[in-house]
Amino acid sequence: LKQSGIAADGVFVVSFKQGTKLMFMDTIEVSGGLVNYTKFLNRIAAGKYSVDVLVKDNLGNTQSFTGLFEFDIVSALNVNIVLDKGIYSPGDSVVLNGFVSSNLLNSLKNINLDFDFEGAPRGIKLKTSTDTFTTNYVIPVNIKSGEHNITIIASDENGNYVVKNIQFNVQAIPTTLETKIDSTNYDPSGNVLFVVSLFDQAGEAMSENIKVDILDSKGKNFNSMIVETGKNSSFTLVADAVPGYWKLDVNAFGLNSNAMFNVRESKKLDAKVDGQNLVVENTGNIPYNGLLDVIGNDLVKSQNVKLNVGAKQSIKLDSLFSPGNYSVSAIGKYLGNVVI
């Protein structure tokens, strides 16, 4: 290192890169314009490396050399691993069996193996490459489903070094079943909106087709339907839906979930004129027992009506009104003209 032709002091920075990624660097003091740098390349992952050099004197002058040279590191180690199975369930043990060999067919000694099961470390030491190893990892019960990684780093007494990654797969196990309804009270003929949700061990939503049983307030099966979990579903109550608390009952994958909702009482009549008769029908969901006002022109006649749900009763208009032409109304609506 020189300043205007005179030996100078400063620093010498050597950067080792793989592509654009800085892997490691060294800083060396320059004294009297001379630098002597030696790097023992041990415990370094195999691959292609490039070297950048930055020189800086004690006055702040700099000179850089990008890609000054390149070299390849070839690992002499090979980690041979076999998993005990292809796919795992939460709570299973992942068992690894294997051995470390030399790509150069050399005998290896004092081999260190470091395993990283996504943050859970394990360590094994082998005296020679003729030894085999076994290690295991208990999968957390709340682990996410899908592919997971195991990183293995192996090195020997000569500085040979290799990093290997292997994967194992965890299946999704249905763990939680939920049923939610958009309301707790409905009128007969109302539309009931609901959603059934299924979650795996990690709380992730799962998509499955599931049967839902709809039970009325007497425990009778009103209907059964297949729904997709996580999707909005609905059904329509009938006009004479039994009042009281109904239940959506869901059983799947050994799990159970239910949701209750109330069907309100509905006291309701319908009526129509048939010849000289007034036909009254109980269209509510509870028995009807009371007086019905029948209007003919300006005359109001009350008639006792007693009907079970869905039943009809015929009332003779000539028993209520004397002969004549009448405009007939009941239950708040005009029903037509009748000649008696």
Q: Write the pLDDT tens digit of every residue in 32-60.
A: 778 888 887 777 777 899 999 998 888 88
Q: Are 100 and 113 in contact (CB under 8 A)?
A: yes
The token duo for 41 is 């390349």
Q: 38 CB contacts (<8 Å, ≥6 apart)?
A: none
Q: Which helix (H) or strand (E) holds 243?
A: none
- 1: pLDDT strictly greater than 80: no
Query: Quick check: 202 pLDDT over 90?
Result: yes
Q: What is the C-alpha to C-alpha distance for residues 127 and 298, in angstroms, rounded to an integer?
A: 113
What digits encode the pLDDT tens for the residues 150-196? 999 999 988 888 999 999 999 999 999 999 999 999 999 999 999 99
Q: State the pTM of this model.
A: 0.74
Output b/e per residue, 250-271; b: 16+ Cβ within 10 A.
bebeeeebebebebeebebbeb
pLDDT tens digit string along 305-339? 999 999 999 999 999 999 999 999 999 999 999 99
Chain mean pLDDT for the chain: 93
CA distances from 204 to 5, 60, 171, 199, 230 (A): 69, 56, 12, 5, 11
Q: What angle do CA 282, 308, 248 make, to 5 degrees?
A: 85
**What tokens were used for 151?**
């990183």
Do the Cβ atoms of 328 and 295 come closer than 8 Å?
A: yes
SS3 318: helix
